[in-house]
Amino acid sequence: MQLEHPLGQDGNTEPLRILLIDDDEVDRMAARRALQATGIDTTLQEAMNTADGFAAAQHGDYDCILLDYNLPDGDGLTLLRKLRTAQIVTPVVMMTGQGDEELAVEMLHAGANDYLPKRKLKPEVLHHTLRSVMHIFQVESQRKAVQEQLAGTGARLQYLIDNSPAIIYSAVPSGDFKMTFVSENLLNVLGYEPHEMLDDMNFWIEHIHPDDRSALMQQLPRLLSNGGQQTHDYRFRHHDGHYLWMHDTMRLVCDKTGQPLELLGSLLDITERKKMEGALQQEKEEQQVLIQELHEAREQLLQNEKMAAIGQLAAGVAHEINNPIGYINSNLGTLKHYADNLIELTDLYQVAEMSFDGAHQEVLELIHSIKSRIDLDYIREDLPDLVRESQEGAERVRQIIQNLKEFSHVGEAEWQLADLHHGLDSTLNIVHNEIKYKAEICKEYGNLPQVECIASQINQVFMNILVNAAHAIEKQGTITLRTGCEDGEVWVQISDTGIGIPADKIKHIFEPFYTSKPVGVGTGLGLSLSYNIIKKHHGRLAVTSDVGTGTSFTVYLPIKRADEDQAEQSNTQPEEIPCGSGGDT
């Protein structure tokens, strides 16, 4: 009979190494014969007592041991236990007598791989037993190898998990997200023992910063329903009580049917990164503020230069016109005097005319013809008017020159005592052209003391507000100027009946470059510069507006200059950027 190799057809052609431990010569022979009859290529080693058998098993390399129970120096069961205790794992087939099943079971418990009744040792049975024992042994060896490998990998994995900077966790994929596993480094990073987190089902949720909790809880249901991965940054309370920023990457793990199994995640401490981001953001914001200030300072400088240039021009023109208008004015006075005299004289001549007799007929006719040609009556009537109108015109020119001088205050960025009514009036004259077709000016001036201020700058504020008021009136309206004095400060209110400012825009009007006017019409600087000027005067600039009704700007100024202003000479740089102040400096 030819049976196949007990280790299967895997190309293994090595003879099977068998150790037979039996003291009975007849039994050994039977075993030899049965082995031969299986046709398996074997090498057989024999021992006749437990001592030799143990020594052979210890030093030889066997694929299988056939072990008899009754031996002269002990029993097979004891030897089997000794072999296993000595970590000799070679498969053992116990050779038992007939009816020794109980003993066989005991042997199996002690580590035997199979048993055979030796009196009926048939080749097929032996072959089958060897085959199954060897197969089981082989499978067992492979399983052990895999288990050892797995144990190694597991240990490495555990080491990596426990020493990674990220806390690894798993949680149930349902409402309370109870943690089912958390890595040991929880203690290093957040100061908690893992069991604290595992035992308390609300631990995770309750240690998240209240401000970050609701956003996170809103997002999580999406992960449960859609699957995939989510990342969240939130603050988590450390055992010491302070909060750390954590970056949580969580993934929903599902089975083959798509049923959620667990939530797997890692928590990374990103507090340092957040701090750096915050510092960077702050730096960026500071830079933006600086850039904005620089921008404003430049615009303020340009505006100042422009004002200075206009002022210089105005002062130059005023100076040039001042002289001629001076003598025109004075000559007109004299002219009026002369004209009055001449009219008085012609009146007398008219009376004298009546007494002329016939001898002067020719002279009389000549007088009459000249009188009717020049229309003496009309001249008499018109001459005083002409002179008066000329005087009024000259007076207006003189007034304008005066206004120009007052407005410009060239070289006078200096504190002085000023009459604000005077400033308002002279500014009104300057912007007369902008206003005259649009608005009627209504003045409700109260009593104002002299105010210590930089008059040219305050005039500049009045001008900006007046021009804005005129621009806000679409067809025809009224600009009302009211003034008053209360509690050590004066106020000047300029109200218009213009289009008004919508509530959502009013907070922007003091911002530099905010304008609702078309490109080229407004730069959006008028009010921001005005704001800075009033601020420098330690005053306030307030605004109220109703769309469709009109707008009121009120300038409040302290009557006396603040002490600190006296210490440092006036400085024309802007101080602060108004932003969404709602109009009160």
Ligand X SMILES: Nc1ncnc2c1ncn2[C@@H]1O[C@H](COP(=O)(O)OP(=O)(O)OP(=O)(O)O)[C@@H](O)[C@H]1O
Question: Which listed range, 56-64, 214-222, 371-379, 468-476, lies at the site for Mg ion (CB under 5 A)?
Answer: 468-476
- Closer CB to ligand X, residue 471 or residue 537? 471
Site stretch for ligand X (CB under 6 A), options 263-271, 455-463, 466-474, 568-576: 466-474
Note whether 528 binds Mg ion by CB under 5 A.
Answer: no
- The token pair that represents 380 in the structure block: 């008499």
Closest distance of CB 433 from ligand X, Å: 15
Site for Mg ion in 41-60 (CB under 5 A): none
Q: Counting contacts by CB under 6 A, is residue 298 touching ligand X?
A: no
Supply φ then ψ for residue 355, to 5 degrees.
-90, 5
Burial of residue 230 (CB within 10 Å: 0-12, 13-18, 19+) is middle
Task: Name the minimum Å distance from CB 524 to ligand X.
Answer: 4
Q: Which of 311, 477, 498, 526 binds Mg ion (CB under 5 A)?
A: 526
In degrees, to the nearest 5, what angle opens at C-alpha 210 toward C-alphas 208 and 216?
Answer: 65
Looking at the Cβ atoms of 35 and 469, the one nearer to ligand X is: 469
Which residues, 538 to 567, sit near ligand X by CB under 6 A? Answer: 551
Residue with tokens 């890595």: 183
Q: Which among 355-363, 460-468, 545-553, 572-580 is the span making contact with Mg ion, rule CB under 5 A?
A: 460-468
Nearer to Mg ion by C-beta: 185 or 468? 468
We find the least distance from the C-beta atom of residue 374 to ligand X, in angstroms, to be: 55
Q: Which stretch binds Mg ion (CB under 5 A): 112-120, 151-159, 228-236, 522-530?
A: 522-530
93 binds, among ligand X, Mg ion, none (CB under 5 to 8 A by kind): none
Amino acid at 450: Q
Q: Check residue 472 for interaction with ligand X (CB under 6 A).
A: yes
Answer with the entry of Mg ion, ligand X, none that 459 interacts with (C-beta below 5 to 8 A by kind).
none
Q: How far is the CB of 476 from ligand X (least distance, A)?
A: 15
Q: Could you tell which of Mg ion, ligand X, none binds residue 185, using a CB distance below 5 to 8 A set by kind?
A: none
d(CA 31, CA 107): 20
**Token pair of 25, please?**
């010569």
* 129 is an interface residue for ligand X by CB under 6 A: no
Per CB under 6 A, 524 contacts ligand X: yes
Binding test (CB under 6 A) with ligand X, winner from 167, 404, 525, 533: 525
Contact between 539 and 558 under an 8 Å Cβ cutoff? The reply is yes
The residue count for binding ligand X (CB under 6 A) is 21
Task: Evaluate whether 514 touches 557 at the Cβ level (below 8 Å).
Answer: no
CA distances from 209 to 194, 204, 212, 242, 267 (A): 20, 10, 5, 10, 15
Nearest residue by C-beta to Mg ion? 526
Residue 568 CB, shortest distance to ligand X, in Å, is: 27
According to CB under 6 A, which residues from 478 to 517 bind ligand X? 496, 498-499, 501, 509, 514-517
User: Which of 70, 329, 523, 570 is the binder for ligand X (CB under 6 A)?
Assistant: 523
> Closest distance between Mg ion and the C-beta of residue 464, in Å?
5
CB of 311 to Mg ion, least distance (A): 19
Which does residue 558 touch among ligand X, Mg ion, none (CB within 5 to 8 A, set by kind)? none
Give CA–CA dist 500/547, Å, rounded. 4
- Based on the shown chain and the rule CB under 5 A, indicate whether residue 539 belongs to the binding site for Mg ion: no
- Pairs from 86-92 (Cβ < 8 Å, separation ≥ 24): 86/54, 86/58, 88/57, 88/58, 90/19, 90/57, 90/62, 90/63, 90/64, 90/65, 91/63, 91/64, 91/65, 91/133, 91/134, 91/136, 91/137, 92/64, 92/65, 92/67
Judged by beta carbon distances under 5 to 8 A according to partner kind, the member of ligand X, Mg ion, none in contact with residue 243 is none
Residue 572's binding partner out of ligand X, Mg ion, none, with CB under 5 to 8 Å set by partner kind: none
* Tokens, residue 342: 């001449």
Q: DSSP letter string over 51-99?
A: HHHHHHHHHS--SEEEEESEETTEEHHHHHHHHHHTT----EEEEE-TT
469 binds, among ligand X, Mg ion, none (CB under 5 to 8 A by kind): ligand X
Residues 6+ apart with CB under 8 A from 402: 318, 426
Q: Of the ranges 169-177, 402-410, 413-421, 526-534, which one interacts with ligand X (CB under 6 A)?
A: 526-534
Nearest alpha carbon to residue 534 among 472, 448, 442, 465: 465
Rounded to a whole number of angstroms, the minimum distance from the CB of residue 473 to Mg ion is: 14
Closest contact distance (angstroms) between CB of 549 and ligand X is 11
Which tokens go with 535?
């601020």
Site size toward Mg ion (CB under 5 A) is 2
Backbone angles phi, psi at 19, to 5 degrees: -110, 120
Q: How far apart are CA 466 and CA 464, in angstroms?
A: 6
Q: Which amino acid is at 553?
A: F
Does position 468 bind Mg ion by CB under 5 A?
A: yes
Check: CB of residue 31 under 8 Å from CB of residue 121: yes
Q: CB atoms < 10 A from the CB of 407, how many?
A: 26
Radius of gyration of the chain (CA): 58
Task: Tokens for 443, please give them.
Answer: 């003045």
Task: Name residues contacting ligand X, limited to 406-465 (CB under 6 A).
Answer: 464
User: Minimum Å distance from CB 294 to ligand X?
Assistant: 19
Q: How far is the C-alpha of 1 from the C-alpha of 397, rounded, in Å?
A: 144
For residue 472, the partner it binds in ligand X, Mg ion, none, with Cβ less than 5 to 8 A by kind, is ligand X
Between 78 and 303, name the residue whose CB sits nearer to Mg ion.
303
Q: Rounded to the nearest 10 degrees, how much is the dihedral formed by the CA atoms of 39, 43, 49, 52?
A: -170
Task: Kindly indicate which of the ranges 15-23, 234-242, 361-369, 522-530 contains the residues binding ligand X, using the contact rule CB under 6 A.
Answer: 522-530
Q: Residue 525 touches which of Mg ion, ligand X, none (CB < 5 to 8 A by kind)?
A: ligand X
Could you give the dihedral angle defined by the CA atoms of residues 222, 227, 233 and 234, in that order, rounded to the nearest 10 degrees?
Answer: 60
Contact residues for ligand X, defined by CB under 6 A: 464, 468-469, 472, 496, 498-499, 501, 509, 514-517, 522-528, 551
- Provide the binding-site residues for Mg ion, judged by CB under 5 A: 468, 526
